[in-house]
Structure formats: structure tokens, C-alpha cells
Chains A and B, each alone.
Chain A
Amino acid sequence: GENVEQHPSTLSVQEGDSAVIKCTYSDSASNYFPWYKQELGKRPQLIIDIRSNVGEKKDQRIAVTLNKTAKHFSLHITETQPEDSAVYFCAPKTSYDKVIFGPGTSLSVIP
């Protein structure tokens, strides 16, 4: 079956530093690569996504890069702020529009 992994599982950074989370997936037919942010007790919230015909996408402090050959994509957050503290999930869309979540990365931004 499909396998989705994330690294690291926990990440602690000083406010203003950058954070990078990597997601690897196994289904080469995957064609959509989103990152979700989830705060305690809330639903996952889409923060950025990339499609398989694009290598990099940026939205203010957040960027996503995709390496389809190597089957991984990464979330980059620059100038981190305390409100960036949350759990982040990658959730690539696989064959037949199946969405499988990675195990998550807990990000803590220390003021």
C-alpha cells in the first residue's frame, strides 16, 4: 500500500529562524502535494500545495519544493513566529484521489 513518511517528527526553533519539514511518499502516481497545519482540537488547514508539474511554490513566508523523481516534497517556513507552532502534516494525493496523511511534525517556535 501507499507509504508516507515525515521528518523530523518534532522540531523546535527560535523565533525568526527557519524550519524545514520533509515528506517522502511511495506512490509514483501521486499528483498533488499539500501541507496542512493543525492546531489542537481543530480540523487540518491547508497552508500550501504544489502540483506535479511545478518544482517550487512560495506564499510569503511559506514555500514548498517538490522532487518527483526522488518522491519527496518539503515545507519551508522562514522568519518563524510563535503562532506557527502547531502540528504539520503532508498528505499527498495518490491514485484514485486517495489522500494519505504523513505521521505529522510537531513544530515549536520559542519566543
Chain B
Amino acid sequence: DAMVIQNPRYQVTQFGKPVTLSCSQTLNHNVMYWYQQKSSQAPKLLFHYYDKDFNNEADTPDNFQSRRPNTSFCFLDIRSPGLGDAAMYLCATSSDRGGTEAFFGQGTRLTVV
């Protein structure tokens, strides 16, 4: 059974047109993460939620925002996608009890045209 679900799997958006990626989880984990992974690079942490506390990395561009309306859902908003934002976006969840693994969704492949 899928535990971390990302929709859609593939997203094509126009240059400058806002786009939203979604992630849902059935694990009831209170930590959620958004990563950006470009070709031949490591996943780069954009945001993470520690329960209701939102944390964005210092180098996450202002063009990226995130929302978490409840424990199960998390959204990544890209306000004005540029060609450089084309990447795989990975959502992950984790328990906050420390010493526990992160569970990843299958990712959303974003193409900007």
C-alpha cells in the first residue's frame, strides 16, 4: 500500500505559470519534507515541517512556498516557474521520535516549457 503519495507523477507547466504539487501520507507522521532533485545531483532540502513548525532552508528561493493544512497533506507552490526549476520534486515523511527513517513518495517530475 502506498504510504506517501505524490500527485501528479508528471507535471508540465508553462514558464511563469504558477503550479502546485501535492503530497499526502497515511502514516500519521508529523514531520514532512520537500526536496528538489535535479539530474545527477543529490536531493536538496527545500522545506520541512516539524509538526506545525515550518522551516525553510536559507537558500530556498522565494519563488517556492509550502502549505500544510493538516497532518496528512502538504503542498509545494512554485509561483513563477523558470526553466531552472525543472526537476524531480520528492516529498518525504518521518516520525519525530528520532532515529527513524524517512519514507519517500515516488516524486513529481516537473517540466517547464
A residues neighboring B (CB under 8 Å)? 1, 31-32, 34, 42-44, 46, 49, 51-52, 89, 91, 93, 96-104
| Closest B residue by C-beta to A32 | B99
- Whether B92 sits at the interface, judged by CB under 8 Å, is yes
A-facing mask of B41-68, CB < 8 A → 1, else 0? 1111100101001010010000000000
> Do B33 and A99 touch (CB < 8 A)?
yes
The reply to whether A44 and B98 contact each other, CB–CB distance below 8 Å, is no
Minimum distance in angstroms from B54 CB to a CB of chain A: 12
A34 touches B90 (CB 8 A): no
Given A1, A32, A97, which contacts B50 in the complex, CB threshold below 8 Å? A97
Picked from B48, B105, B106, the residue with its CB within 8 Å of the CB of A98 is B48
Bound-state CA distance A42–B104 (Å) is 10
Interface residues of B in 1-48 (CB under 8 A from A): 31, 33, 35, 41-45, 48
B45 to chain A: which residues have CB within 8 Å?
98-101
The interface residues of chain A lying within 8 Å CB-to-CB of B113 are: none
One of B96, B99, B102, B104 near A52 (C-beta < 8 A): B99
> Interface residues, chain B, CB within 8 Å of chain A?
31, 33, 35, 41-45, 48, 50, 53, 55, 58, 90, 92, 94, 96, 98-102, 104-107
Q: Residue on B with the closest CB to A45?
A: B104
- Do A44 and B104 touch (CB < 8 A)? yes
Shortest distance between the CB of B68 and any CB in chain A (Å): 15
Cβ-neighbour of A102 out of B42, B102, B107 (below 8 A): B42
Task: From known contacts A34-B101, A46-B101, A96-B50, infer whether A101 and B42 are also in contact, taking CB-CB under 8 Å.
Answer: yes
* A93 and B100 alpha carbons, distance in the complex (Å): 9
Set of chain B residues within 8 Å of A104, measured between Cβ atoms: 41-42
Chain B residues within an 8 Å CB radius of A102: 42
A-B CB contact pairs (8 Å), 23 listed: A31-B98, A31-B99, A32-B101, A42-B106, A43-B90, A44-B43, A44-B90, A46-B101, A46-B102, A52-B99, A89-B43, A93-B94, A93-B98, A93-B99, A93-B102, A97-B48, A97-B96, A98-B48, A99-B102, A100-B45, A101-B43, A101-B44, A102-B42
